[in-house]
Amino acid sequence: LAESSQRPSAELDFYYGTALAQVGRWDDAQRAFAAGARLQPGDKRFPLELAGVAFKQKRYPAAARHLRRSLRLDPTDSYGNDFLGTVYFLQGNIAAALKYWSRVGKPQIVEIRSQPPPRLNAALLDRAMAFAPASVLRLPDLLTTEVRVPGLEIFPRYQFDLQARDDGKFDILFRNRERDGWGQGKLEKLFLLFRGLPFQSVTPEVYNLRHRAINFVSMYRWDADKRRLLARLSSPFKANPKFRYGLAADLRSENWDIRNSFQGPAPVLESFNMRREAVEVDFASFESGRWQWSAGAEISHRDFRSVIPGTALTPSLLTKGYQLKQTTQLNAGLWRVPERRVTLEGGVSSQAGRIRSQPSHSFERLQGSLRFHWLPQSQGDDYEIQHRIRAGKTFGEVPFDELFMLGLERDNDLEMRGHIGTRDGRKGSAPMGRDYFLSNWEADKNVYRNGIFTVKLGPFLDTGKITDASAGLGSQKWLWDLGAQATVRVFGVGVAFSYGKDLRSGNNAFYVSMR
């Protein structure tokens, strides 16, 4: 009896709300449909109509919420999927729009245009895009394209926009900033070449040679304690942007002072000069937006001179000689919620090496990573939250230059932003070891943007621990660094100004780094 008495009332609310909507009384219509939805929560008509009212009032987040509820009741509803895709399109969330439009055979692409037209070979750019004109754009194809286009290494900034046509179909606009030759204009050329001058280095780089995404990048640093010459040539393999290979050479001469801290009383535990020469070849495959892999090989030689021995290092760490190392890496997209602009990515890597010495030594380094990324707003990157977790473990006997390090240092990517890896210009003041765990959390807010550069500001929290069998290495305890960071991005290059406080020791770290 109760059920039969509810149905006429719910039907009455539906027709009453429809009549109110037809005369533009949106608030009254919303109340009528909401009352009907409470009486008949399993009737998809009510959330659909509530979405229509919210859409008319340009309350797109509310419209999307009602449509998601409707599709939970009937996931195959063509009208609901089309409607929800349209709402996300109007919000600028193209990935979410494609998720729902693909269920109804939309959007049909007519033309792909570039703004400005890149100098890259047109056929190569076309092969980098996994979609084509006169076809339906699918989310997996867009994600694959967003992996292969940056894999060309000449587009530091780009964006794909969907543009609606009068016939109900769409065009794709590829907005891009391309690196070609030494750079665009004198200012960019000078900045890219001399951006490392404060760190006693220059970075000659030539991009897009022969308009085929062939790039040569190099760095020369004349710092008396950290001399380095690095050069790398990379190119698509057989003009296919799905694959890329690289050849690199790296020469170093570094003075090390092993200490327990970059500030305060911290006597030198051991010191030496390390010279290292290496050549490397690598090959990468951008299989799809879901996963990518790479493999490589390196031949290196290291030599340790002017050694002042101490208790920090074992003799095996200072092993001299030639080394052959092979590397493999796999990256995968683990979880994606386009509606919330949330992604979770993971990666694993292996480095196995053997040193020709007396006796010979072999080792393997395994690393894993997770990266959580969230853009809270429906479009743009005005706010951005990231959390990255990495861990590594070493098996066998590694040479000193294969140890992990937690701290800020220009040749290190395992950042603890309250610990600086150099003191008096020499490396060795950050925790080092064979095994580590590192967590980096940060939130950013865009505070300024124009056509040349952007400025982001936000807090960070770094947590980590590193261990080693040698008494003078490792962090012994968990490390906690809290601070703030400002990142200025100019011509596709990020310059990060950070302040971090080591919550365990109280040390303060101010640092400037390139990203």
Q: Are 153 and 234 in contact (CB under 8 A)?
A: yes
| 70: enclosing H helix or E strand | helix 60-73
187 CB-near residues (< 8 Å, 6+ apart): none
CB-count exposure of residue 332 (10 Å: 0-12, 13-18, 19+): middle
Domain endpoint, select from 87, 104, 121:
104
Residue 460 belongs to a domain: yes
**CATH number for the domain that contains residue 444:** 2.40.160.50
Please list the pLDDT of the chain residue by residue as tens digits (515 residues): 344 444 458 889 899 999 999 999 999 999 999 999 999 999 999 999 999 999 999 999 999 999 999 999 999 999 999 999 999 999 999 999 999 999 999 999 999 999 999 999 999 999 999 999 999 999 999 999 999 999 999 999 999 999 999 999 999 999 999 999 999 889 999 999 999 999 999 999 999 999 999 999 999 999 999 999 999 999 999 999 999 999 999 999 999 999 999 988 889 999 999 999 999 999 999 999 999 999 999 999 999 999 999 888 988 899 999 999 999 999 999 999 999 999 999 999 999 999 998 778 899 999 999 999 999 998 888 999 999 999 999 999 999 999 999 999 999 999 999 999 999 999 999 999 999 999 999 999 999 988 778 999 999 999 999 999 887 899 989 999 999 999 999 998 999 999 999 999 999 999 999 88
502 CB-near residues (< 8 Å, 6+ apart): 418, 419, 479, 480, 481, 508, 509
Residue 326 belongs to a domain: yes
The Cα 400–Cα 432 span in angstroms is 10
Number of domains in the chain: 3
Residue 182: what are its φ and ψ, rounded to 5°?
Answer: -85, -5
Question: DSSP class of residue 316?
Answer: G
Residue 200 belongs to a domain: no
Asked if residue 121 and residue 261 are part of one domain, the reply reads no
Domain endpoint, select from 77, 104, 131:
104
Asked if residue 422 and residue 349 are part of one domain, the reply reads yes
**pTM to 2 decimal places:** 0.92
The Cα 278–Cα 295 span in angstroms is 16
Asked if residue 258 and residue 304 are part of one domain, the reply reads yes
Residue 206 belongs to a domain: no
Asked if residue 339 and residue 472 are part of one domain, the reply reads yes
Q: Are 388 and 440 in contact (CB under 8 A)?
A: yes
Query: Which residue segment(s) compose the domain that 146 sits in?
Result: 108-177
Q: Are 383 and 376 in contact (CB under 8 A)?
A: yes
Asked if residue 489 and residue 455 are part of one domain, the reply reads yes
Asked if residue 131 and residue 18 are part of one domain, the reply reads no
| 422: enclosing H helix or E strand | strand 422-423
Closest CA to 199 of 341, 41, 411: 411
Asked if residue 115 and residue 94 are part of one domain, the reply reads no
Q: In what order do the strands lie in the sheet with 135-136?
A: 135-136, 108-115, 170-177, 157-164
The Cα 253–Cα 341 span in angstroms is 45
Asked if residue 84 and residue 62 are part of one domain, the reply reads yes
**CATH number for the domain that contains residue 169:** 3.10.20.310
CB-count exposure of residue 87 (10 Å: 0-12, 13-18, 19+): buried
Asked if residue 297 and residue 364 are part of one domain, the reply reads yes
Write the CA distances from 466 to 36, 66, 129, 191, 256, integer angstroms: 60, 49, 42, 37, 19
22 CB-near residues (< 8 Å, 6+ apart): none
Domain endpoint, select from 86, 104, 122:
104
Asked if residue 114 and residue 88 are part of one domain, the reply reads no
Burial readout 206-240 (b: 16 or more C-beta within 10 A, e: otherwise): bbbeeebbbbebbbbbebebbbbebebbbbbeeee
Asked if residue 443 and residue 407 are part of one domain, the reply reads yes
